[in-house]
Amino acid sequence: MESILKQYTKAQIDRAKNIRALIFDVDGVLTDGKITYTEGGDEIKSFNVKDGQIIRHLRLNNFVVGAITGRSSKIVARRCAELKLDFVYQGTETKKAKLSEIRQKYGLKDDEIAYIGDDIIDLSLIKEVGLGMAPIDALEYVKAEADLVIEKRGGDGVVREAADFILAAQGKLDSILNSYY
């Protein structure tokens, strides 16, 4: 067993073994949930470099990786392009409908999908998918629905922790690490 798996339960590891797609919310997951404006009318958003490092390896391991968000911004488009995500759906009012679309497009079953969200709009997806996750600073009633609470706060590497876990559960993390020596 890969060493980072010690902190997870057998049930969580079993769920992670089936995952072929990692989907996440943006504000509060990829970011710290701050909505930042300038007096001159610009907007600012911060992501985490550690999330980017692992997304590259998810893609190399043929995972479907994408983002669904209720808001809309060119910043998110820029960051998601940089991360070479399979998809980014912005301005999504009903995430549930969007998930059906994704499932069909990529031929995914519910238990092959992992989802990370932090607010009420994410509740149904967290409950529905095979591995529903929420960051430590999500609302209590959102974390209550999650199969796994990520120990990082939004924007501090939530996707990294989730992806490291999934890759380790599937026995793929050690060989990634070894490739860097």
User: 51: which 2 tokens?
Assistant: 């999330």
How far apart are CB 53 and a second copy at their closest, in Å? 5
Q: Does 42 bind a second copy (CB under 8 A)?
A: yes
Size of the site for a second copy (CB under 8 A): 50
Tokens of 93: 């009012």
Q: Which of 55, 65, 123, 169 binds a second copy (CB under 8 A)?
A: 123
- Report which DSSP code applies to 65: E
Q: Does 28 bind a second copy (CB under 8 A)?
A: yes
- Can you tell me the distance from the alpha carbon of 168 to that of 140, in angstroms, rounded to the nearest whole number? 27
What is the three-class DSSP state of 167?
Answer: helix
Question: Can you give the binding site for a second copy, defined by CB under 8 A?
Answer: 3-4, 27-28, 33-50, 52-53, 71, 73-75, 78-79, 118-121, 123-124, 127, 137, 139-141, 155-157, 160, 164, 176-177, 180-181
